[in-house]
Chain A
């Protein structure tokens, strides 16, 4: 199901949480909203589910209009036929696993025989066939999450919504369930919209990642683009670029570093970003995009590599991670030349 979100705005009291969100999601696509808490990603998802009503904007899902705020039309959640997986699982404690999964179909007047068949098939798909008669409190966290997935899948009529479904699981289980979510997405072919604050999860799952910041979309791109070519300072920081330096003019950066490749075309007011692992300790050649010289400070050995700061004469600190055993990496206080290759430098707004 194709989902079109246009110009959604939402305020809670005087606090504006969404400032006009626009996005089109293709049929069968897996899109993740990624951002820190309070960025509006969950609110956007809840607007799609119908659990919040946006103040302005439109949401169109396939042929159906979920929201047309200007016309005052809001399709109530029970008529949207979407599947949703909640952060807290939200399994009804007074119903057995079977009844939990059957509930969405009962509400939609599916014939009994079909309910029975579909409950079985879906429980088999999530690997919980043998637990149909248990109650939620008799299951572990991971098992409860599988039931929540099954219930969502049964309810989804082409559109699945995930609200940080894995954040209550421990690290190992989280990775296992991630694979499961991905598999079920392919198997059932739903359009999936997923909300998370975990970068790794977003990259691993998605066809496209949407980075959100303070109620606005910051960047939309493939996981690879998001990871290596962030568009803004916020995005670069969020995906782990340790170094973000302001551009002073077309050949100089804040703190006395030099831009040596005109192909970067930085404008005044923008910034350049690079990862600490891409800093090389030599003067560099024609492929270098940024060069500088600094004093090693606060170096610490963390197993496979050294972490340290290189402090330039003008006071800029560049965070670097250098593989253990690198030649020319000395004690704190020694001065070194360094450069970053043009390919590893991103110009951000």
Chain B
């Protein structure tokens, strides 16, 4: 074959265009960060390359302290979230506790609620002067009882841990349900008690899945920005992402090269961890629920079931009801800490504020579009990665790891840089375009989890049968893949929509006059002491989520009713 034809074949291969998307979405921002770390001037041709920023970051004792603190906090988060997640997974998968059906519901709520809302709600709940918890303590023990402060080391750790409990629950549920029950039965017939079986058989068998999920949680803590920024920074507790933001928002002007240098270091660590996690878990990390034998051995736990049920209720109360109640209470107060005069005035004020409204509209627009693009792109990515083996397929797969290793803040920085450096793109600065792009890239790893799980359920031969029957590749994607994945695509879209509209880190870097973003507005109001406004706006956003999720659920339900077979495929994917 001549070189000319060889190149022609590559270009015709649909993987080629998808690889180009990966290059633009993942590799380009990462490359911008790396080059930025060595440049003395942020933009344009001015400035020269140097390693000064890198050396300064590497040798700074403050950075060292921040790094050590981040790791220690991360370890604490992992211990707490893993133990809690294991506890609830075991109750759900292994026992006949009456309230166990509540567990996935509450975990889903926790996972889908943006981290910023939690952080704000807990910041209010654990406020030493007006927080609900301290009020209760003060009522019981007098003013000396106001000992809880969310803006503290433990506050950050606990709030970060709550969301990771939910994530780990879903990561562990699959392996738990997939475990061959004969392994457990043979241990029991060999004379082991249920408890001994659990600790001596099941936990070791689950070790790879468990360590994989722990590493992923550690990665997500290293990337988390909302809780450390809202609860940690006021107390002077910095972790790596907030330290990076500190460089960007420094009062002496943004120190881009220092922020980039630190980002590069974090990315390297994250990449190593992501690689380790993929090695441990294999591809299973991206498939939420699976398993051949879907009827795990659930046992009666006698008196314990009351203990377990109670702990489910307590967990739901503390992590969902309490923060929600606090948010509602504050949103109705005329000022922070008010004990009377509750009214809807704050809501009306928010609805009357053009800047808030524009932020609200802009956020919805960006989230709708971003989630749509992310689902589309991740479907294309997943499809292309399995279309044909080879280096293009590997490139598509590995470049997504890069996405997973770029926290929102770093990605925002890379995207900002990309748009300002590449000729012709700078006119999008300060518009929604740059925001949509950054958020869509940020959400792809999550969107990919939905699409790859759903696509794994569709045998390749269904597609091949369509090709042989005269359908082009694109036609087959539309007629077979998309049609069969539609219910998953809709629910994946909802999840992406919710997370994009609640994310704080990326918009904080990218929002500019003319493209206000609701999460940034809420955060700013909160920091400026206008907590009621922040709470009211948050709750309005939550109401929008509920509305849109409800509509989407209805659509999914209709879709499943129209083609019973697609439902079957879905049910099969739950059991097999």
Q: How far is the CA of A115 from the CA of B501 in the complex (A)?
A: 48
- Whether B564 lies near A90 (C-beta < 8 A) is no
Contact among B9, B472, B473, B565 for A136, CB-based, below 8 A:
B565
Contact among A72, A80, A83, A86 for B461, CB-based, below 8 A:
A86
- Whether B468 lies near A93 (C-beta < 8 A) is no
Q: Taking A12-B389, A72-B6, A72-B9 as contacts, is the C-beta distance between A90 and B470 under 8 angstroms?
A: no
Among A157-197, those with CB < 8 Å from B are: 161
Residue interface bits A230-261, CB-to-B below 8 A is 1, else 0: 00000000000000000000000000000000
Among A70-91, those with CB < 8 Å from B are: 70-72, 76-84, 86-88, 90-91
Q: How far is the CB of B485 from chain A (nearest CB, A)?
A: 10
Residue interface bits B459-499, CB-to-A below 8 A is 1, else 0: 10110111111111101000110011000000000000000
Q: Taking A12-B389, A13-B389 as contacts, is the C-beta distance between A103 and B566 under 8 angstroms?
A: no
Q: Which residues of A contact B2 (CB under 8 A)?
A: 72
- Whether B466 lies near A92 (C-beta < 8 A) is yes
Determine the residue in chain B with the shortest Cβ distance to A148: B465
Most A CB atoms within 10 A — which of B6, B465, B565? Answer: B465
- Whether A86 lies near B465 (C-beta < 8 A) is yes
Most A CB atoms within 10 A — which of B2, B9, B480, B566? Answer: B480
Cβ of B1 under 8 Å from chain A: yes
Cβ of A51 under 8 Å from chain B: yes
Residue interface bits B1-31, CB-to-A below 8 A is 1, else 0: 1100110110000000000000000000000
Contact among B464, B483, B563 for A90, CB-based, below 8 A:
B464
Q: Which residues of A contact B465 (CB under 8 A)?
A: 84, 86, 90-92, 151
Residue interface bits A178-221, CB-to-B below 8 A is 1, else 0: 00000000000000000000000000000000000000000000
Cβ of B569 under 8 Å from chain A: yes
Q: How far is the CA of A49 from the CA of B465 in the complex (A)?
A: 10
Q: How far is the CB of A118 from chain B (nearest CB, A)?
A: 14
Cβ of B568 under 8 Å from chain A: yes
Q: How far is the CB of B413 from chain A (nearest CB, A)?
A: 38
- Whether A155 lies near B470 (C-beta < 8 A) is yes
- Whether B566 lies near A77 (C-beta < 8 A) is no
Q: Which residues of A contact B464 (CB under 8 A)?
A: 49, 51, 77, 84, 86, 90
- Whether A94 lies near B461 (C-beta < 8 A) is no
Q: Taking A13-B389, A93-B569, A94-B484 as contacts, is the C-beta distance between A81 and B470 under 8 angstroms?
A: yes
Q: Which residues of A contact B9 (CB under 8 A)?
A: 72
Contact among A12, A13, A103 for B466, CB-based, below 8 A:
A103
Cβ of A305 under 8 Å from chain B: no
Cβ of A116 under 8 Å from chain B: no
- Whether A137 lies near B565 (C-beta < 8 A) is yes
Q: How far is the CA of A93 from the CA of B569 in the complex (A)?
A: 8
Determine the residue in chain B with the shortest Cβ distance to A84: B468
- Whether B467 lies near A78 (C-beta < 8 A) is yes
Would you call the interface of chain B mostly helix, strand, loop, or mixed?
A: helix
Q: How far is the CB of A214 from chain B (nearest CB, A)?
A: 21
Contact among A69, A82, A90 for B462, CB-based, below 8 A:
A90
Q: Which residues of B contact A112 (CB under 8 A)?
A: none
Q: How far is the CB of A84 from chain B (nearest CB, A)?
A: 4
Cβ of A64 under 8 Å from chain B: no
Q: How far is the CA of A92 from the CA of B565 in the complex (A)?
A: 9
Q: How far is the CA of A116 from the CA of B271 in the complex (A)?
A: 56
- Whether B5 lies near A92 (C-beta < 8 A) is no
Cβ of A289 under 8 Å from chain B: no
Q: How far is the CB of B460 from chain A (nearest CB, A)?
A: 9
- Whether B1 lies near A76 (C-beta < 8 A) is no
- Whether A107 lies near B469 (C-beta < 8 A) is yes
Cβ of A50 under 8 Å from chain B: yes
Contact among A12, A13, A77, A94 for B565, CB-based, below 8 A:
A94
Determine the residue in chain B with the shortest Cβ distance to A12: B389
Residue interface bits A38-79, CB-to-B below 8 A is 1, else 0: 000000000001110000000000000000011110001111
Cβ of A35 under 8 Å from chain B: no
Cβ of A268 under 8 Å from chain B: no
Q: How far is the CB of A86 from chain B (nearest CB, A)?
A: 5
- Whether B467 lies near A50 (C-beta < 8 A) is yes
Q: Which residues of A contact B471 (CB under 8 A)?
A: 78, 103, 107
Q: Which residues of A contact B469 (CB under 8 A)?
A: 78, 103-104, 107, 151, 155
Q: Which residues of A contact B479 (CB under 8 A)?
A: 92, 103
- Whether A49 lies near B468 (C-beta < 8 A) is yes
- Whether A83 lies near B466 (C-beta < 8 A) is no
Q: Which residues of B contact A81 (CB under 8 A)?
A: 470
- Whether B466 lies near A155 (C-beta < 8 A) is no
Cβ of A108 under 8 Å from chain B: yes
Cβ of A329 under 8 Å from chain B: no
- Whether A77 lies near B468 (C-beta < 8 A) is yes
Q: Which residues of A contact B484 (CB under 8 A)?
A: 92-94
Q: Taking A92-B462, A94-B483 as contacts, is the C-beta distance between A83 and B468 under 8 angstroms?
A: yes
Q: How far is the CA of A90 from the CA of B483 in the complex (A)?
A: 15
Q: How far is the CB of B466 from chain A (nearest CB, A)?
A: 7
Q: Which residues of B contact A49 (CB under 8 A)?
A: 464, 468
Residue interface bits B429-473, CB-to-A below 8 A is 1, else 0: 000000000000000000000000000000101101111111111
Name 24 A/B residue pairs within 8 A (Cβ), A-sorted.
A12-B389, A13-B389, A50-B467, A72-B6, A72-B9, A76-B467, A76-B472, A76-B473, A77-B467, A78-B468, A90-B462, A90-B465, A92-B462, A92-B465, A93-B484, A93-B566, A94-B569, A103-B466, A103-B471, A104-B469, A135-B563, A136-B565, A137-B564, A151-B465
Instruction: Beyond the given A81-B470, A103-B466, A108-B470, please list 12 additional residue pairs across the A-B interface where CB-CB is below 8 A.
Output: A49-B468, A51-B467, A72-B6, A76-B473, A78-B468, A78-B469, A78-B475, A91-B465, A94-B563, A107-B471, A135-B563, A136-B565
